[in-house]
């Protein structure tokens, strides 16, 4: 719970780069919504399995995802093309 709170607060505090991430409480999603996010490679199957205090912070463009309380406390997935800056 504390890790999830700290990550959400940190994302909100970085208003220049991270504040626009959508915070998704995995447990609140329907199974079909979880499956759609896994299919789109926005969240992992492990995160989709759910559990208390599991969150995904998702960038609108799909290039940034932060998993909270999946296998690790925090996992960041960042994708970019070539030498373009991610944020």
Which pLDDT does position 85 carry in this prediction?
58
Residues 6+ apart with CB under 8 A from 3: 53, 68, 69, 73, 74
Which pLDDT does position 60 carry in this prediction?
85
**Cα gap 13→37, rounded to integer Å:** 26
> Over 70: is that where the pLDDT of 83 sits?
no
The model's pLDDT over 2-36, given as tens digits with 9 standing for 90+, comes to 887 888 888 778 777 777 788 899 999 999 999 99
pTM (2 d.p.): 0.78
Mean pLDDT over the full length of the chain: 84
Mean pLDDT of 33-46: 93
Other Cβ atoms closer than 10 A to 72: 10
Phi-psi sector, 34: left (phi>0), alpha (psi -120 to 50), beta: alpha
Residue pair 31/51 in contact by the 8 Å Cβ criterion: no
């Amino acid at each position: 719970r504390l890790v999830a709170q700290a990550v959400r607060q940190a994302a909100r505090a970085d208003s220049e780069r991270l504040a626009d991430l959508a915070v998704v409480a995995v447990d609140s999603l329907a199974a079909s919504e979880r499956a759609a996010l896994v299919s789109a490679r926005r969240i992992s199957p492990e995160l989709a399995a759910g559990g208390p205090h599991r969150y995904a912070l998702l960038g609108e463009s799909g290039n940034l995802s932060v998993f909270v309380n999946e296998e690790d406390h925090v996992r960041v997935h960042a994708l970019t093309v070539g030498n373009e800056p991610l944020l």
